[in-house]
Amino acid sequence: MAVYTEVPDDALRDFVSAYDIGDVTSCKGIAEGVENSNYLLRTTEDDYILTLYEKRVRREDLPFFLGLMDHLSGKNFPAPVPIHGKDGVALRELCGKPAAICSFLDGMWPRTITADHCRQLGEAAARLHLAAADMRLTRLNALGPAGWAELAAATESRADEVQTSLAGLIREELAFLNAAWPDNLPTGIIHADMFPDNVFFNDDRLSGVIDFYFACNDALAYEIAVCLNAWCFDESAAYRKECGKALIDGYNSIRPLSTVETDALPILCRGAALRFLLTRLYDVLNHPPGAFVKPKDPMDYVARLSFHQGVISPDQYSRSAV
C-alpha cells in the first residue's frame, strides 16, 4: 500500500466493539496489498484481517467486492469471509475511511511456481466463475480497453523515459486491440488479478484466494489470459509451456473452455499484458517518494506482450510443437 493509516487503539476498540468477535489483543500492519492498508487483527476469539480502503479503491465499488466475497464464501469457495457487525453491516468506517474485517485465510503464496500450482489455479479460477455465476451485483472492468486508452494517454509523454519507443509500441498495440478485441465471449464475474501473491497454498494445496478489489464482469477467458501472464513466465520472461498447459487443463477440468474462448486466448493475452504494462508504467512514472511498495517493472510485461504478439495458434500455449 502507498501509505498506512495509523489506527489509534481507542478508535480500533470502538470499531471492533460493533462486532461479535471478542476484544482486540493485537493489531499489526501487514506488508500485503498494494491498494489498501491491511492489518492482522487478533482478538480474544480469533485472527482476522482488517482492511482500510485507501483512495485508489472507489467507495461505490465496495458493496460489490464485499458482496462477492460473501457470495463466494456461501458457495464454499475459499475467499475471505466478510465479518458482519452486530447490526448486520460488513462495510463500516474507521479513521474516516471505509473499513471491513474479514476472516484470516491460512496459507502462503508460492514464490516458486510449479505446474501443479498452475493446475490448481486453473481449477480455482473455473470454480470461482461457476460460484459467482448467480451473483446479482455487477461491476464494469475499469481496466478494460477504455481504461487502457486512458492510461496510455496519461503515460504517453513520459513512456519513452522507461524505454525507447515504448509510447509508440503501446499506441500501436492499443490500436490493434481496439480493432480486434472480441465481444462474443461468455462473460461473468472474474477476479481479474489472480497473481501469485493473491493465491495461497497450504502444504501445496490451494487454500485461498484473496484481494478481490479488481473483480468485475468481463470475458471469463480473460481470467485465463491474466493468469497465463502472471504465472507462466520465468524470470527471464520465457514462456513456461508446462505451466500454461497445466493452467488451461485445470480450468477445462471444471469449466471446459469453448472453441471461441480458446481461439481468443492469444488476443486476450495481449490485452492482459498491455493492461499490466500500462498500470505498472503509470505507477513507475507516478511513484510517490517514500511509498511503501517498490513499483514493479513494466518491462516484464513488454516482454510478455512481445511473446503473445508472436503466437499464431492458441495451441502454442499448451501443446508441444507438432
* DSSP three-state, residue 54: coil
136 is a site residue for its own copies (CB under 8 A): no
Span from 63-71, 136-144, 160-168, 201-209 in contact with its own copies (CB under 8 A): 201-209
Unique residue bearing C-alpha cell 481461439: 263
Residue placing its CB nearer to its own copies in the complex, 73 or 114:
114
Backbone angle region of 138, left / alpha / beta, with phi > 0 → left and psi within -120 to 50 → alpha: beta
235 is a site residue for its own copies (CB under 8 A): no
Span from 78-86, 156-164, 199-207, 314-322 in contact with its own copies (CB under 8 A): 199-207
Quote the CA–CA distance of 45 and 24 in Å, as a whole number. 9
Span from 6-14, 157-165, 229-237, 270-278 in contact with its own copies (CB under 8 A): 6-14
Instruction: Please give the backbone phi and psi of residue 70, each rounded to the nearest 5 degrees, phi first.
Output: -60, -50
Quote the CA–CA distance of 77 and 74 in Å, as a whole number. 7
The neighbouring-strand residues paired with 42 are 26, 47
Q: Is there a contact between 296 and 280 (Cβ–Cβ < 8 Å)?
A: yes
111 is a site residue for its own copies (CB under 8 A): yes
30 is a site residue for its own copies (CB under 8 A): yes
Residue placing its CB nearer to its own copies in the complex, 1 or 174:
1
Q: Supply the minimum distance, in Å, between the C-beta of residue 184 and its own copies.
A: 40
* DSSP three-state, residue 87: coil
The pairing of strands 205-209 and 199-202 is antiparallel
Indicate the angle between helix axes 115-131 and 220-231, nearest 10 degrees. Answer: 160
Quote the CA–CA distance of 15 and 278 in Å, as a whole number. 38
Q: Which of 20, 28, 55, 134 binds its own copies (CB under 8 A)?
A: 28
How many CB atoms lie under 10 A from the CB of residue 268? Answer: 27
Q: Which helix (H) or strand (E) holds 202?
A: strand 199-202
63 is a site residue for its own copies (CB under 8 A): no
Residue placing its CB nearer to its own copies in the complex, 147 or 295:
295
Binding mask 263-302 for its own copies (x = CB under 8 A): ------------------------x-xxxx-xx-------
106 is a site residue for its own copies (CB under 8 A): yes
Span from 20-28, 55-63, 126-134, 220-228 in contact with its own copies (CB under 8 A): 20-28
Residue placing its CB nearer to its own copies in the complex, 37 or 262:
37
Quote the CA–CA distance of 279 and 277 in Å, as a whole number. 6
96 is a site residue for its own copies (CB under 8 A): no
Q: Which of 27, 130, 299, 303 binds its own copies (CB under 8 A)?
A: 27
Which residue, among 34, 17, 10, 72, has the nearest Cα to 198 in the 3D structure?
34
47 is a site residue for its own copies (CB under 8 A): yes
Question: For binding to its own copies (CB under 8 A), which residues are involved?
Answer: 3-4, 6-10, 12, 23-32, 40, 42, 47, 104-112, 200-203, 287, 289-292, 294-295
